[in-house]
Amino acid sequence: MRSLRRLVRDPWPQRPDMTAVGPITVLVAKFDHRYGDAEAARAYDIIVRAGGRYIGVEASPRHRVLNACFRSASDATRAAVEIAYLVIGRACPSENPLAGLRIALYTADAQEDLERSPETMVLCTTNLLARAEPGQILLTAPTAVVAGPTLPPGIQLLDRGLWTPSPSAPTERIYQMSISGPEKDGIAGSNLGWARRAVHGHGDTPAADVQTVVKSVHNAWQQTLTGRAQLILLSGGRPESRIACAAEAALRLHAEGALVLYGRWVRDAQVPYRAFRDALGFYASRIGTDQLIADLEGWADKIARLLPEVGTRVGGPHLAQAASDVDRARIFEAVETWVRAIAKRTPMVVVLDDAHWAEPASVLLLAHLWHTCRRHRLTLLITGEADAGNPLNRLMDLATHIDADGVERIRL
């Protein structure tokens, strides 16, 4: 491990290949007075191992600052996580383990960013660092979109609104990396990769549409928190606008503490319950086996028909599909039991996309959940086309027939 004094005097050599145009991610990490040369030097080694270049080091009695450029947003994010774990391992049990550290990650996205020098991007990242509170790790949307799916369990990205890198630059969405440890309080992480991609890739969605959906979903969420389930059907507009609006709402609620799960139906899918498989399959992959067994409450054999991989984990049979109406009814009860168990521990939002491709069995399962979970902390946000005769209208009819209170339809 190199000494900090030598790093300041002789930083990592600048390689010619770093001048080539391409997406670059900059990391800036700032340690306060609680940390000395040893921690900064260890952080430097982490950056080098992760592939950092153009490494700069600043040391003073009040702080130590390291910055570096990476060719990969995932590598830069991995370095940030390792530096955070380094600090957590040295913190006193009585304090916020990350209180003495701030980190910012900025990834080039637009062509004008790609043409900037590393020094200019370091300056932008330093400006982002100035927004960070003690203990925060902030990253821009391009970083989050690329690196988010690679994050280990126990780490989540929370929406923290918009930020302008410079007076002449467009606004960027920023996220806070929350490091809470895996399976905190028996709660798995949210599925939000789809949402970050949607809001980052569809900035042309009318602001009025976004505001309308976010306001309606947020108002519904306040009812959900009191134990009254809500069902929102979002239709009309372009598919890209619908999912961008749903994504914006989901990110806002996740930042307020919601567990967000996402699933999507596709045209001519050969597997029934496709959206439910996506949403619950992701959740199962992120929760511990003991908690999963407790949630299923003896229904593992029926859930195994929906998700064979869950059956493998908890000892259920390898059966991929229901064979009869009786089996289907039992699967509905099993899903109901599972969803209610999750909602008892944490309020949840389930986003189900492209419901106009849903097969009849999925529509019936949705209606069953709405009928049996109305007194639980659950919001169902369903998107799709609103053409006459499609499954979305059938779902609306079933939902309002069961209980119109708590059902809302939003047309873009």
Burial class (CB in 10 A: 0-12, 13-18, 19+), 164: exposed
CA dist 328 and 284 (Å) reads: 20
242: closest CA among 317, 332, 344, 352?
352
- Position 149 scores a pLDDT of 84
Return the beta strands (E) in 180-222 as ranges: none
Edge to edge, what strands does the sheet with 64-70 contain? 53-59, 64-70, 25-31, 101-107, 137-140, 172-179, 155-163
Give me the CATH code for the 4-182 domain, please: 3.30.70.1230
**pTM of model > 0.95:** no
Q: pLDDT tens for residues 114-165?
A: 556 777 888 889 999 999 999 999 999 999 998 888 888 778 899 999 998 8
Residue 328 confidence class, pLDDT cut points 50, 70, 90: confident
pLDDT (mean) for 14-38:
72
Burial readout 30-48 (b: 16 or more C-beta within 10 A, e: otherwise) = bbeeebeeebbbbbbebbe
CA dist 197 and 145 (Å) reads: 6
- Position 181 scores a pLDDT of 53
For residue 179, CA distances in Å to 68, 89, 120, 143, 260 come to 22, 13, 29, 17, 17
Q: pLDDT tens for residues 192-222?
A: 999 999 988 776 788 888 899 999 999 999 9
- Position 11 scores a pLDDT of 40
Residue 269 confidence class, pLDDT cut points 50, 70, 90: confident
User: For the range 404-407, what are the long-range contacts, defined as Cβ-Cβ under 8 Å and sequence gap of 24 or more?
Assistant: 406/220, 406/223, 406/228, 406/229, 406/230, 406/231, 406/374, 407/230, 407/231, 407/232, 407/233
Burial class (CB in 10 A: 0-12, 13-18, 19+), 223: middle
Cβ contact 211:389 at 8 Å: no
Q: Tell me, what amino acid is at 334? A: A
Q: Is 228 helix (H, G, I), strand (E, B) or coil?
A: coil
Residues 6+ apart with CB under 8 A from 24: 69, 70, 71, 107, 108, 114, 118, 121
Burial class (CB in 10 A: 0-12, 13-18, 19+), 112: exposed
Instruction: Name which CATH class applies to 193-411.
Output: alpha beta
pLDDT (mean) for 243-254:
94
Burial class (CB in 10 A: 0-12, 13-18, 19+), 188: buried
Q: Is 132 helix (H, G, I), strand (E, B) or coil?
A: coil
Return the axis-axis angle of helices 274-286 and 325-345, rounded to nearest 10°. Answer: 40
Residue 15 confidence class, pLDDT cut points 50, 70, 90: very low
Cβ contact 363:233 at 8 Å: no
Residue 249 confidence class, pLDDT cut points 50, 70, 90: very high
Maximal C-alpha separation, the chain: 74
Residues 6+ apart with CB under 8 A from 87: 31, 35, 39, 97, 98, 100, 101
CA dist 212 and 315 (Å) reads: 45
Cβ contact 38:82 at 8 Å: no
| Phi, psi angles (nearest 5°) of residue 67 | -135, 150
The helix or strand, by DSSP H or E, that contains position 232, with its residue range, turns out to be: strand 230-235
Q: Give me the residue spans of the domains in the chain.
A: 4-182, 193-411
CA dist 336 and 339 (Å) reads: 5
Residue 95 confidence class, pLDDT cut points 50, 70, 90: low
Radius of gyration of the chain (CA): 24
